């Protein structure tokens, strides 16, 4: 590949990864074309993009960005997975597919980057156990609404008791 073509490819990779802050790198070496198409379709359903790139070109394209620590020490041809509703959902899906050795045996999560810090495969597995954005929002809403519901119950409980007692007294007087 000529130097001019490498620069064009590097520029294209840089444009595709523009705005991506967190990503996961995976190895798909040894997967046949049909399995790769199935994998891409499954990832596309979760709004996750997968970009297979040469390691040296990826290093040049991500130089000076938050994604550059991801390629330190990486070797061979890699695929970068990015997108999804949030990073934790992306990691959960990649780890799930990594565990599915029956269907995607050659798909291996090798690392990633989160907030500019490199993650190893064990770090990815740890992140996959965190609650997703939707789960975090529901927990936050529950914590916000919980005290109000308790206060409402505390205020309405004695009022209902008093109402029942007044009703009973009025029925006895009639």
Total number of domains constituting the chain: 2
Q: Which domain holds residue 139?
A: 131-174
Residues 41 and 125 in one domain: yes
Residues 90 and 19 in one domain: yes
- pLDDT score recorded for residue 116: 83
Q: How many angstroms separate the CA atoms of 55 and 49, rounded?
A: 17
Residues 61 and 136 in one domain: no
Residues 171 and 108 in one domain: no
Residues 82 and 143 in one domain: no
Residues 124 and 171 in one domain: no
CATH code for the domain in which residue 21 is found: 3.30.70.1730
* Predicted confidence pLDDT, tens digits, the chain (174 residues): 788 888 888 888 888 888 888 889 998 888 888 888 888 898 899 899 998 888 888 888 888 888 888 888 777 778 899 988 888 888 898 888 888 767 777 888 888 888 888 888 888 888 888 888 788 888 888 888 888 777 777 777 777 777 777 888 888 876
Residues 84 and 121 in one domain: yes
Residues 55 and 107 in one domain: yes
Residues 71 and 151 in one domain: no
Tokens of 150: 């308790």
- pLDDT score recorded for residue 103: 79
Residues 52 and 112 in one domain: yes
Of the candidates 109, 118, 6, the one whose C-alpha atom is nearest the C-alpha of residue 56 is 6
Is the pTM value of this prediction over 0.75?
no
Q: How many angstroms separate the CA atoms of 106 and 95, rounded?
A: 13
Residues 92 and 121 in one domain: yes
Write 60-66 long-range contacts (CB < 8 A, 24+). 60/6, 60/10, 61/10, 61/11, 61/13, 61/14, 61/17, 62/13, 62/14, 62/17, 65/17, 66/21, 66/22, 66/113, 66/115, 66/116
Residues 9 and 63 in one domain: yes
């Amino acid at each position: 590949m000529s130097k001019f073509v490498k620069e064009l490819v590097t520029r294209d990779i840089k444009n595709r990864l523009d705005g991506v802050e967190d990503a996961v790198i995976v190895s798909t070496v040894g997967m046949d074309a049909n399995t790769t198409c199935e994998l891409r379709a499954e990832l596309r359903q979760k709004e996750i993009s997968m970009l297979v790139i040469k390691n040296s070109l990826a290093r040049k394209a991500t130089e000076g960005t938050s994604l550059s620590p991801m390629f330190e020490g990486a070797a061979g041809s890699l695929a970068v997975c990015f997108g999804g509703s949030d990073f934790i959902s992306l990691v959960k899906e990649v780890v799930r597919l990594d565990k599915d050795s029956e269907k995607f045996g050659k798909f291996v999560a090798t690392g990633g980057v989160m907030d500019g810090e490199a993650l190893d495969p064990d770090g990815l597995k740890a992140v996959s156990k965190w609650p997703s954005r939707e789960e975090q929002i529901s927990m936050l809403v529950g914590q916000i609404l919980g005290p109000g519901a308790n206060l409402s119950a505390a205020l309405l409980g004695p009022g209902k008791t008093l109402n029942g007692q007044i009703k009973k007294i009025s029925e006895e007087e009639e």
